[in-house]
Amino acid sequence: MAEQLRLMTVHAHPDDESSKGAATMARYVAEGVDVLVATCTGGERGSVLNPQMDRPEVLADIANIRKREMDEARAILGVRQAWLGFVDSGLPEGDPLPPLPEGCFGLVDPEEGAKPLIKLIREFRPHVMTTYDENGGYPHPDHIMCHNISVVAFDAAGDPDKYPELGEPWQPSKLYYNSGWTRARMLALHEGMLAAGLESPYTEWLQNEERTDRGDKITTRIECGEYFEIRDNALRAHATQVDPDGFWFHVPMEMQQKVWPTEDFELARSLVDSPTPESDLFAGIRESVDTH
């Protein structure tokens, strides 16, 4: 029996799947890979970031609206999607920072919080998983917890002694962290814009020396420039979260495709033989899965 390759991407909020690794998902979907997005929270505490959507009736119904936005983005990307059922922590602001709201995702015990994800892994049986790095990629409590439960789940899902009530063990072969905002990428886009006589949206970003840069941790670059359009369409489907006139869409598509045509990942765990650098999330796995 022919088997399909399967990719599971774990994300904190609806919209994260469309801003981190979305073109990679679209490429793998086009190649016949079964792709499932696991969304930790409903994004209930997210602010409305698009001025055109910042209306009282939108805020009053934000949880439902974000579900519908996710449905639309899922259809555009051609992926499957599942909710893990946690409640958004919101991004704490102020000095000192206020405590996180009771019952939110950022406060769960990772061993407990991993349960719905382990169940989903054992049902979907992904060969490859992606999540965020230990700093969350960006320091939102839900992004950090997304990392925490993903690592617990990756390490436990294949162990018959762990969580036996959650289904037949399945061990994914590789775990990756999404990489996006590296200095090298920002600089390449910045210089591309300046060379074309355009205003760069990254000037301020590049002046902030305090950002930690993980560019040297990248092991895997996925060519996916021809899917950037799909990524942007999926992102726009999250209309409450994305300003169509904003930052994201300032760099012309052709320039992005020319200057930085890949999405990049850090290989965090591998149970197969896959020398890095690589150009395929399934390197070392394809050989052993009979897809014909």
Binding residues for Zn(2+): 13, 16, 143
Where does this chain touch Zn ion (CB under 5 A) — which range of 6-14, 108-116, 151-159, 256-264? 6-14
Task: Please say which residue, 12 or 267, places its beta carbon nearer to Zn ion.
Answer: 12
Where does this chain touch Zn ion (CB under 5 A) — which range of 5-13, 154-162, 218-226, 229-237? 5-13
> Residues 5, 7, 12, 259: which binds Zn ion (CB under 5 A)?
12
From the CB of 46, what's the least distance to Zn ion, in Å? 8
Whole-number minimum distance, CB 142 to Zn ion, in Å?
6
d(CA 142, CA 108) in angstroms, rounded, equals: 10
What is the biggest distance separating any 2 CA atoms in the chain, rounded to whole angstroms? 60
Known binding positions: 13, 16, 143
Residues 6+ apart with CB under 8 A from 198: 252
Least distance CB 143 / Zn ion (angstroms): 6
User: DSSP label at 289?
Assistant: S
Helices within the chain (DSSP H only): 16-19, 22-30, 56-60, 62-77, 110-113, 115-124, 141-156, 183-195, 203-207, 228-237, 253-259
Size of the site for Zn ion (CB under 5 A): 3
Task: Show the binding pattern over residues 13-42: x = contacts Zn ion (CB under 5 A), - = does not.
Answer: x--x--------------------------
User: 5 and 33 in contact (C-beta within 8 Å)?
Assistant: yes
d(CA 292, CA 289): 9
Query: Which span sits near Zn ion by CB under 5 A: 8-16, 62-70, 98-106, 171-179?
Result: 8-16
Asked if 14 and 66 touch (Cβ cutoff 8 Å), the reply is yes
As measured in angstroms, the least distance from the Cβ of 47 to Zn ion is 12
Q: Which residue's CB is nearer to Zn ion, number 21 or number 225?
A: 21
Question: Please, what is the minimum distance in Å from the beta carbon of residue 81 to Zn ion?
Answer: 15
Closest residue to Zn ion, based on beta-carbon distance: 13
Given the DSSP bridges, would you call strands 262-270 and 174-179 parallel, antiparallel or unpaired? antiparallel
CB 86, min distance to Zn ion, A: 12
Strand order, beta sheet including 80-86? 80-86, 34-41, 6-11, 128-131, 174-179, 262-270, 220-223
Give the three-class secondary structure for 176: strand
Alpha helices in 131-202 (DSSP H): 141-156, 183-195
Our finding on whether 10 is near Zn ion (CB under 5 A) is: no
Q: Which residues bind Zn ion (CB under 5 A)?
A: 12-13, 16
